[in-house]
C-alpha cells in the first residue's frame, strides 16, 4: 500500500512537466521555422561562390574565353587588318534583310553632351498615342576610335540630305569610350562638359545628329554584333521593332549609299 502511494505521488510529480516540455518543443519549432529561410541559403546545393559573391564557374569560363580570344587576336591585329581592307570589312547589304531573318540590335545606353540619356534601339508601340511620330527607320552609326568618325560621316551626311524632312526617320551616332579613367563618374561629367562647349556637330532640320557616347566595356556588345575590328565604323539600319534590316562598314561608296536610301524607303513603306 505504501509502495502504491509512492508510485501515485511520483506519477503526479512528473505529470506537470509534460505540458511544459510541449511548450518548450513548440517554441523550438517556432524558432526553427523562423531561422529556416536563413539556413536554406547554406544548402549544399549552392556553391561556395554564391555565399561570398565570387565569380561562378560560368562567369569564369566566360572570362577565360574572352582572354583566349583577345590573346589569339593579338594587340596589333586590328591595325594589320585595317591596312588590308581600309575599314571595309565587307560590302554593305545590297537588299533589305527580310524581317523573319533579321536579328535584334542589342540594347545600348547612350549619353549626350547635354546629360540626356537614350536607350537604343527605339521600339515603336503602335498602340501608343504618339505612334505616328515614332521612327519607322533608324540609322545607328558606331565608332570605337576617333579615326573612324570620318567614315560614319560619309554615310550620315548623304542620309541627312535625303531624309531630313521625314518625321519617321532617326539618325544616331554613337562613340564608345572604354578607358576606365574616362568612365569614372567625375571624369565622365568633365568630358561631357568639355564636349558640350565645343560640340558643333549639329545639322538643322527635323533630324539632328549630335554624337552620343556609350561608356564602359563594350566587348560583349561587339561580340553579339560580330564587330571584330574596332578601327573601322559600322552602320546599321534598324526598323521600328529594333531589328537590323541593313548594315555596312567603313567609308561609304555611291552604290552602297543608293542601297541604304532604297532600303530606308522600303522600311518607311512597310505596314
- pLDDT 10s digit of each residue in the chain, 271 long? 445 445 445 545 444 444 444 444 444 444 444 444 444 444 444 444 444 445 566 677 777 777 776 666 766 888 888 888 888 988 899 999 999 999 999 999 999 988 899 999 998 876 666 667 688 999 999 999 988 999 999 999 999 999 988 889 999 999 999 988 888 999 999 988 888 866 544 444 555 578 999 999 999 999 999 998 999 999 999 999 999 999 999 999 999 999 999 999 999 998 7
Q: What is the dihedral of CA 206, 207, 211, 217, to 10 degrees?
A: 130
105 and 123 part of one domain: yes
37 and 122 part of one domain: no
Which three three-digit cell numbers place residue 269?
513603306
Residue 41, domain extent: 27-73
Q: In the prediction, which pLDDT does 55 show? A: 58
End-to-end Cα separation, the chain, in angstroms: 105
Q: In the prediction, which pLDDT does 265 show? A: 96
The number of distinct structural domains making up the chain is: 2
d(CA 48, CA 64): 20
Is residue 19 domain-resident?
Answer: no
* Run of H or E residues at 215: strand 211-215
Nearest CA among 125, 116, 149 for reference residue 235: 149
Q: Kindly list the strands in the beta sheet with 108-111, ordered across the sheet, starting from the edge strand earlier in the chain.
A: 117-120, 108-111, 211-215, 169-177, 137-143, 233-239, 244-249
Q: In the prediction, which pLDDT does 56 show? A: 64
Q: How far is CA 1 from CA 11, 123, 188, in A?
A: 15, 95, 97
Q: In the prediction, which pLDDT does 246 show? A: 97
Encode 240-262: b = buried (16+ Cβ within 10 Å), e = exposed.
bebbbbbbbbbbbeeebbebbee
Instruction: Please name the residues in contact with 260: beta carbons below 8 A apart, sequence gap of 6 or more.
Output: 92, 139, 155, 159, 235, 237, 246, 248, 252
Is residue 13 domain-resident?
Answer: no
Is the whole-model pTM more than 0.85? Answer: no
122 and 223 part of one domain: yes
35 and 168 part of one domain: no
238 and 107 part of one domain: yes
The radius of gyration computed from the CA coordinates of the chain, to the nearest angstrom, equals: 32
d(CA 210, CA 105): 20
Is residue 1 domain-resident?
Answer: no
Amino acid at each position: 500500500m505504501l509502495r502504491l502511494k509512492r508510485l501515485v505521488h511520483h506519477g503526479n510529480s512528473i505529470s506537470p512537466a509534460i505540458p511544459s516540455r510541449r511548450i518548450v518543443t513548440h517554441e523550438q519549432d517556432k524558432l526553427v521555422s523562423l531561422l529556416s529561410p536563413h539556413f536554406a541559403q547554406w544548402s549544399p546545393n549552392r556553391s561556395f561562390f554564391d555565399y561570398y559573391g565570387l565569380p561562378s564557374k560560368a562567369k569564369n569560363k566566360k572570362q577565360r574565353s574572352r582572354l583566349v580570344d583577345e590573346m589569339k587576336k593579338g594587340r596589333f591585329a586590328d591595325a594589320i587588318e585595317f591596312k588590308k581592307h581600309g575599314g571595309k570589312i565587307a560590302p554593305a547589304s545590297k537588299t533589305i534583310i527580310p524581317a523573319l531573318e533579321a536579328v535584334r540590335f542589342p540594347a545600348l545606353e547612350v549619353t549626350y553632351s547635354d546629360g540626356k540619356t537614350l536607350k537604343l534601339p527605339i521600339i515603336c508601340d503602335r498602340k501608343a498615342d504618339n505612334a505616328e511620330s515614332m521612327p519607322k527607320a533608324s540609322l545607328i552609326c558606331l565608332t570605337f576610335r576617333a579615326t573612324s568618325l570620318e567614315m560614319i560621316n560619309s554615310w550620315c551626311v548623304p542620309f541627312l540630305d535625303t531624309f531630313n524632312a521625314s518625321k519617321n526617320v532617326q539618325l544616331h551616332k554613337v562613340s564608345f569610350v572604354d578607358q576606365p579613367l574616362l568612365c569614372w563618374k567625375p571624369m565622365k561629367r568633365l568630358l561631357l562638359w568639355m564636349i558640350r562647349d565645343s560640340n558643333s556637330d549639329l545639322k538643322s532640320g527635323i533630324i539632328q545628329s549630335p554624337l552620343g557616347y556609350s561608356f564602359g566595356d563594350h566587348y560583349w556588345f561587339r561580340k553579339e554584333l560580330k564587330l571584330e575590328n574596332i578601327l573601322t565604323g559600322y552602320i546599321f539600319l534598324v526598323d521600328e521593332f529594333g531589328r537590323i534590316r541593313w548594315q555596312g562598314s567603313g567609308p561609304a561608296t555611291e552604290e552602297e549609299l543608293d542601297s541604304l536610301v532604297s532600303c530606308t524607303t522600303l522600311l518607311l513603306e512597310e505596314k
